[in-house]
A and B are shown apart, each in its own frame.
Chain A
């Protein structure tokens, strides 16, 4: 096992720079998830760690050893690809044992390791099958089994669950997390799905346009997002953002939206009149008879909770409440915003204040 250090790494394709000096420290045994929208450079970064892409500048070290010029096969890593990349002409056992066979290990050792990995992943009955005879979830497990057999220093996962249906994805999330707890191997995992990031990671690296926006534990990012992008990306449903400014009233501070709605704040580190973005998560808004009047646009009941799309004055707002509502679109409800959960961001820099 080993940690991974990414130091000031840059990637250029010709004159186009796609990764701009990224620094990430991954501790030994840590489960780190690189997350961000499509094209943010997360997969490129992972492929650079794997050695499948050259590093234009900076350095990457695995287990303290700089690997910039080390071939993928000598980095002691295992990778799981989005479309699994199984060898179509080899059966499950041969797929899993290929790396050991290449290394010239004895047949008995290969069989033992493959069998052990197959037991962990419940693949024992499938060892003779070919990839084309397997379902998506089974292929996914074979790809993971192939990685386990290697017993590498670092596991790299490139959006491994993206091709699975929603239910299977949840099941595999649990399986991967259990696997990590069991093996304790360092994992670097790429996804665009923030729920995967929140539920599995020890540490999340949020990326955008080739920059790291914020690094932190999942709940830390949720509670203290560094800027509007991270606040909007982490958490589902996404945080409400309302543009406006801070104002003084009755000896305290309030927020006045550009459309004129007045919303509560507390302990804001910003002077009156400053243009800001007001952020509040849907789950931090509740129904309250004494709250702010809001007009319902759409209701989405899911059984356990109800998502309300409403308007406070002109400003759209999204709330999630535990109650089941008997209101119709166009009717008025009253919402209470917990001022202690409000995030205020600078409108210019979009940084949190």
Chain B
């Protein structure tokens, strides 16, 4: 009994912090989601309106478009980050001069605050002063204007995310690769596998847990991107980069539509959970399923 009490005592600070900063706000958001509440609107009071907010969002084209853009954004960003991160991790596995130096500078984007990343990329992509439009024009005659062209804006937000977060993927996959035993790879060589077969049949399954954890983290992050994109494009042009996080922010802050914003937050949280669960079922549970003989 006594050790149990000590255990709870030791856990208490964590539980307290979690409750204050995690559970209570979550429950509050859930509560607000069932109300109409715009403190600066005609009626500043919180009015219970049942599932009205949720009914509204199902037919809200703006919201649905932002979800669709967010999914596209998350897919392209995370897929590229994992592919690129894996390649870089493999590169850092090899002994080469200056490896430590490159490994260090390649992680630098990780320590830059998203808001700074957004502003730097904005500087770099602003037509007539940014280096990227300048070089693209100089080399390929291409006129990049992310304030006007929706596709360009989308692509640049994806590239910015890749630039910012690939090092995280590289680091986690590098850690996974370093910790692998070398014998199965030697065995695979003797078994007659070529490099691609070794990657597909040995490396990939062995680092799958690390890949999965990384994809989870990155996917959740990408689905709630706000600050970088807000700095870079402000969600534009039009609604081309108005990802769902940004959409919620615009509803809650400039428009002060707290009730509807909360409802969307809850739905986005639910969507994120469902996607992670699907990933888990697709990639992890499959492995543990017993093969019929």
B189 touches A71 (CB 8 A): yes
B97, CB-defined interface residue at 8 Å = no
Which range holds the interface residue count of chain A? 20 to 34
Q: Say how far A24's CB is from chain B's closest CB, in angstroms.
A: 20
Interface residues of A in 121-144 (CB under 8 A from B): 127-128
A166 to chain B, nearest CB (A): 24
CA distance A259 to B184 in the complex (A): 55
Which among B183, B189, B197, B202 is the interface contact of A72 at CB below 8 angstroms? B189
Q: Does A103 contact B (CB under 8 A)?
A: yes
Closest CB in chain A relative to B186 CB, distance in Å: 5
A152: nearest residue on chain B (CB-CB)? B190
Interface residues of B in 183-220 (CB under 8 A from A): 183-184, 186-194, 197, 201-202, 205-206, 208
Grouping DSSP codes into helix (H, G, I), strand (E, B) and loop, the B interface class, with mixed when no group exceeds half, is helix
CB-contact partner of A89 in B188, B193, B205, under 8 A: B205
- The smallest beta-carbon distance between A63 and chain B, in angstroms, is 16
Which A residues lie within 8 Å of B183 (CB)?
A: 81, 83-85
Complex Cα spacing A323 to B204, Å: 61
**Contact status of A88 and B206, CB under 8 A, knowing A81-B183, A81-B186, A98-B201:** yes
Q: Mark B151-193, 1 if CB is under 8 A from A, else 0.
A: 0000000000000000000000000000001011011111111
Which residues in chain A, 69-128, are within 8 Å of chain B measured between CB atoms? 71-75, 77-79, 81, 83-91, 93, 98-99, 102-103, 127-128
**Is B255 among interface residues, defined by CB-CB distance under 8 A?**
no
Q: Are A52 and B181 in contact (CB under 8 A)?
A: no
What chain A residues lie within 8 Å of B184 (beta carbons)? Answer: 85-88
Residue of B nearest to A150 (CB): B191
B290 within 8 A of A: yes
Nearest B residue to A80, CB-CB: B187
A242 to B259, CA, bound (A): 94
CB-CB nearest in chain A for B293: A128
CB distance from B179 to the nearest CB of A (A): 13
A216 CB to closest chain B CB, in angstroms?
A: 29
Q: Which residue of B lies closest to A93 (CB)?
A: B293
Cβ-neighbour of A91 out of B189, B190, B208, B291 (below 8 A):
B291
Cβ–Cβ contact A73 & B181, under 8 A: no
Chain B CB within 8 A of A1 CB: no
Q: How many residues of B contact A (CB 8 A)?
A: 22
CB within 8 Å: A-B pair count: 71
Which residue on chain B has the smallest CB distance to residue A87?
B184
Q: Mark B263-287, 1 if CB is under 8 A from A, else 0.
A: 0000000000000000000000001
Q: A85-B181, A87-B202, A89-B206 are in contact. Are A99 and B186 (CB under 8 A)?
A: no
Minimum CB distance partner of A83 in chain B: B183
| A54 CB, nearest partner CB in chain B, Å | 13
Q: Is A50 an interface residue (CB 8 A)?
A: yes
Of B193, B201, B290, the residue contacting A73 (CB under 8 A) is: B193
Q: How far is the CA of A77 from the CA of B189 in the complex (A)?
A: 11
Distance, CA A51 to CA B205, complexed state (A): 25
Nearest CB of chain B from residue A51's CB, rounded to whole Å: 8
- In the complex, chain B residues whose CB is within 8 Å of the CB of A83: 181, 183
* A261–B226 CA distance with the chains assembled, in angstroms: 90
Question: Roughly how many angstroms separate A189 CA and B206 CA in the complex, as a whole number?
Answer: 29
Docked Cα-Cα span, A248 to B188, in Å, equals 64
Which of B181, B186, B197, B287 sits near A102, CB closer than 8 Å?
Answer: B197
Nearest chain-A residue to B202 (Cβ)?
A87
Q: Find chain B residues with CB under 8 A from A127 CB.
A: 293
Query: B291 touching A79 by the CB < 8 A rule?
Result: no
Which one of B186, B193, B208, B291 contacts A85 once the chains associate, using CB atoms below 8 Å?
A: B186
Which A residues are CB-close (under 8 A) to B186?
A: 50, 52, 72, 79, 81, 85
In the complex with contacts A89-B206, A127-B293, A128-B291, A50-B197 CB distance below 8 A: no
Q: Is the CB of B189 within 8 A of A103?
A: no
Across the interface, B191 reaches (CB within 8 A) one of A52, A81, A89, A99, namely A99
Q: A residues within 8 Å of B by Cβ?
A: 50-52, 71-75, 77-79, 81, 83-91, 93, 98-99, 102-103, 127-128, 146, 150
Which residues does B use to contact A, with CB under 8 Å? 181, 183-184, 186-194, 197, 201-202, 205-206, 208, 287, 290-291, 293
Q: Could you list 10 A-B pairs, sorted by A, with CB under 8 Å?
A: A51-B189, A73-B189, A73-B192, A75-B190, A81-B187, A85-B183, A87-B184, A98-B193, A99-B190, A150-B191
- 6 smallest CB-CB distances across A and B, nearest first, come from A85-B183, A99-B191, A73-B192, A89-B205, A85-B187, A72-B189
